[in-house]
Each structure stands twice: as C-alpha cells, then as structure tokens.
Chain A
Amino acid sequence: MRKVIFISVQLLILSCLCACDLFDYHPYDVKITGDRDVNRNNCNLIESACQEKDTLRFAVMGDTQRWYDETQDFVNVINKRSDIDFVIHGGDISDFGVTDEMLLQRDIMNGLNVPYVVLIGNHDCLGTGLEAYKKIFGPLNFSFIAGHIKFVCLNTNAMEYDYSEPVPNLTFIEDESKADSTKFDKTVVCMHSRPYCEQFNNNVAKAFEYYIRMLPGLQFCTVAHDHRLSVEQYFNDGIVYYGSDRISNRDYLLFTITPNGYSYEVVYF
C-alpha cells in the first residue's frame, strides 16, 4: 500500500515536470500565460512611434474567431509591407470566450512587426471571456493618440450586458473629447458592433452619434461584427462607418490619413 502511494506520487511529480502546460484545468479557467495588458503596451508603442507623423497608414480587420490559419496569413502579409504604422483588430478575437483562444490569437498577432490593438467583440464576452480579455488586452474602452489623431476604441456590445452597464459609455466618449485636447485635432472612432445592429443599444443610437460628433475633427468610424465589407452612413450626417470583413474572407481595410483628408482601400490576400 505504501509502495503504491510512493510510486503514484513519484509518477505524478514526474509527469507534471514533463508537460506542465499540457495540464488544462478548464476551457474557462482564466489562467493567463505570456503577455498581459497588450493594448496599453501597444498604445504606448504607437504613440511614441507616430509622434511626429502627419500621415498615418493603418490596417483594420477583425472577426478572427477560430480562423487561426487566415489570421497567421494576415500577419505574414502585413509583415511584408513596410508602410503600415499599426493594426486595429475590430474584435471577436475568440469564438467562445475560451481563454486559450485569446492566448493563441494574441500569440499570432504578436508576430506582427507593427503594434496592434484589439477591441472587445460580443463573442469575447462569453463565459469568462470578459475577465480574460481585461487581463490579456486591458480596459474595454480605451484611446490612443497617433500623430495628431486620437483613436477612440469603444465597447458597443450592449446585448452581452443586458443593460447592466452603460454600453456604449457616453461619459467615456465625452471625457475623451476633452482629454489631451491640445494633442489632437482629428478623431477616429473604432467599435465592434455598429449602431442599429442587434448587439447595439439602439435606444441610445442617436445619442451615441451626438456624442461621437462632439469629438474634435471626427473623420470616420470603423466597425466589424457583420462579417462583410461595408461603407455606410447610419444617420445621414456625413459620418461614414467602414465595416471590415471576417478574416476568413481574406481581406482587410487600409486607411491613409493625410493632413488634407483620408483615403481607404480594400486589400485582398
């Protein structure tokens, strides 16, 4: 009996040493290995790299959920270019909110030669996804200033919260319109779910538009979620919402903002 226990303990220790990362406790075990707070670190990188620039070029994509191969291809394609300042991932980095999904996708995106930020998508809210997202990527609403342009990244997945939290957070948008106002004169708003889609809190859609129009020099908005390319106005007020495709359709949006305006193109890979 004692011998059996002795052998079993030895076996257990041995196998633990051999393959520690193979022991998984649960898909929704929020055990974070590797980089944390990716968005904040990358925002700092973007801000310092773009400080003196008056022309910015950045890629917008999203909905990489469960399409690891295509996401890897996207990273390879971006790395072949040298004219891109940063990448904006429009959310849904995971399909089921499983921690390992986010870690795997983060590791793929870490392969980019340029910094990137990841927005929160509705799929990222499932299970313990929100907790994992906050640890791996950071706050749900955040902003950074590249050159003289502020990028305001918002959580717009209201349905996931069942109205328990203000989504979209209008106060955050108001604060962002005033914070560091000397450092920027243009704004781009990025979100996962667009106004008037089923995820958005459509009761405040017009209020949302009212608030984002308070942002200085609002250029345009980027959205994901719909799994299709789109260029639309939802309020007929001149504010264009550009929708990125899901990554499995193998394309991304490329924006160039110059002192005189902006342009965009769809790049297929």
Chain B
Amino acid sequence: MKWSISKYLFIFVLLPLMSLNAQVRDSSRVYQSVVKESHYDKRVHRYRKNWEAVIPNIVKVQYAGNMGMFSAGVGWDYGKRRQWETDLYFGFIPPHSSGKTKMTMTLKQDYIPWSIQLKPSVAIEPLATGLYLNTVFGDEFWTHEPERYPKGYYQFSSRVRIHVYLGQRVSFNVHTTDFWSFARNITLFYEVSSYDLMIASAVSNHYLKPKDYLSLSVGAKFLLF
C-alpha cells in the first residue's frame, strides 16, 4: 500500500472509528471538558441565543385587507400557548387608474385566544383579532404635514393607517417528511377589517353600510418551526 492511499484511509476511516470507540468507552462516564468555558465563550453563546430568538418562525401571505393587493411577510409567535403573533409584511398596490405601483409595509399584532383540536392534524381557531399599522411609500403621502401648510391644517396622516380586524382560522399539521414541506403547520385565515378614517365616517353616518366600511381579506400562515 502506497503511503498516499494509506494516509487517506487513516484519516477518513480509522480516525472516525477510533473516536467512535472512544465515545462508546466514555459514555458511561461523566464527560469532563478539558477546556474551561471562558467568559468570551459565554458571551458568544448568550449573543447567539439572543439572536436566535429573533429569527422569525412564521411566514405569512395575505390578499387584500387595505394593506396592499398581495402582502407577504415574516412573523413571530410567543406566549404560553403561542397565542400572540407579531408580523411584518411588505405588499404592493397595483397601479389601476394611478400612474404607478405603490409599496406598502404593515406591522401587525395578532391575538388568538383559543385553538380547538378537531382531529390530530386539524385545529380551528374560532377567533383571531388584532390591529395593524400600514404605511404606504410615495412622495404624495406624509406622516406630518409638509411645511407649506399652516400647523395643524389637516390633522391626519395620509401615510399611516390604523386597522382593526376580527377573523377565524383553520390550521393543518404537515408531515415534515414530505419532500415539498417547508413548514410544519399551515393555517388558512380570513379577516374582516376596518380602518381609522372609515370608522370615523361610519360612526357619524347612517348612510354608510357595512360593505362601505368593512373589508375582507384572506391569507395563509406557514409555521416553519
């Protein structure tokens, strides 16, 4: 056997075997770290752990809802029963009769008080509620009035809207062993929402009917992990 071949054989076959053997022998004993974890290591571990907590574990897509035609975003769930969700969406408004497509961004806070298991893999959430802040990008929209106006001239922001919604959901567990699966749970939802300006109009006008101030949206939530 040439040295070059036996060298690779040693590295790839014998070394792992030896280490495995060592592990088997050591498994009955308490593992003793040779190197003491330094303060630096602890800090790095803590740093990684903290940042892991902000990795979004939800992906959502939504159609309509006064936050864009289609919106997609990421989210986080938390709470004892994972009853809280916070999402950040980006969406777009098609040009229609205006000259251009507009981008939107939405920060959404959801509260899902109950989840009822119907089958081992199917659950319904009879109530989902929450509010969302939507902002639309473009020079024609402002948060504070431009300087050309006297102070307090319009007293509202054309850029930021506050929406409230009520909705329902149904969720399905997915076999993560499936070739195509990228989530372990998929939830379908619909929401009925309204926003600040329309609520203000609806309160003071009998003329406005629910179809004038309510808006419907549908969407899907993918629970990644």
Q: B-contacting residues of A (Cβ < 8 Å)?
A: 1-2, 4, 7-8, 11-12, 15, 19, 21-32, 66-69, 71-72, 95-98, 100-101, 104, 108, 123, 126-128, 131-132, 135, 159, 162, 198
Contact = CB atoms under 8 A, between A and B. Distances in A.
A23 B63 contact: yes
The prevalent SS among residues of B at the interface is: loop
B207 interface: yes
B30 to A, nearest CB: 44
A21 B75 CA distance: 28
B69 interface: yes
Contact of A25 (B69, B195, B206): B69
Contacts, number: 121
A11 B181 CA distance: 21
B136 interface: yes
A159 B146 CA distance: 11
Contact of A29 (B93, B208, B214, B217): B93
A68 B102 contact: no
B148 interface: yes
B97 A131 contact: yes
B161 A27 contact: yes
A128 B140 contact: yes
A71 B211 CA distance: 19
Given A15-B216, A24-B65, A26-B102, A31 B148 contact: no
Interface string B107-140: 0000000000000000000000000001010001
Contact of B96 (A30, A101, A162): A30
B138 to A, nearest CB: 8
A253 to B, nearest CB: 23
A12 B215 contact: no
Given A1-B175, A15-B218, A131-B99, A25 B188 contact: no
Given A24-B65, A96-B156, A96-B158, A32 B190 contact: no
A127 B214 CA distance: 21
A104 B205 CA distance: 12
A26 B96 contact: no
B216 A1 contact: no
Of the listed residues A4, A72, A123, the one surrounded by the most CB atoms of chain B closer than 10 A to its CB is A4
A8 B175 CA distance: 17
A23 B68 CA distance: 10
Nearest to B216: A22
Of the listed residues B98, B149, B198, the one surrounded by the most CB atoms of chain A closer than 10 A to its CB is B98
